[in-house]
Amino acid sequence: MTEKPRLIGINHVALEVGDVDEALEWYGRFFEFELRSRRPGAAFVDMGDQFIALSSSGAHEPDRHRHFGLVVDDKEAARRALLDAGVPVQASGGLDFHDPWGNSVQVVDYREIQFTKAPEILRGMGVAGLAKTPEALEELRRKSLAERKR
Domain boundaries, the chain: 7-113
User: pTM for this structure?
Assistant: 0.79
Q: Compute CA distances 102 → 48, 49, 61, whole Å.
A: 26, 27, 8
Burial of 120 (0-12, 13-18, 19+ CB in 10 A): exposed
What is the reported pLDDT for 7? 82
What is the reported pLDDT for 16? 86
d(CA 24, CA 53): 11
What is the reported pLDDT for 1? 67
Task: Provide the 3-class DSSP secondary structure of residue 66.
Answer: coil
d(CA 95, CA 106): 6
Domain 7-113, CATH number (from 2.60.40.1730, 3.50.90.10, 3.30.365.10, 3.10.180.10): 3.10.180.10
What is the reported pLDDT for 145? 82
Q: Any idea of the CA torsion for 17, 21, 24, 29, to the nearest 10 degrees? A: -110
Q: For the beta carbon of residue 34, count every other beta carbon within 10 angstroms.
A: 10
Ordered per-residue pLDDT tens for the chain, 150 residues: 678 998 876 654 657 888 999 999 999 999 999 899 999 999 999 887 778 889 888 666 666 666 778 999 999 999 999 999 999 999 999 999 999 988 889 999 999 998 888 899 999 989 998 999 999 999 999 988 887 776
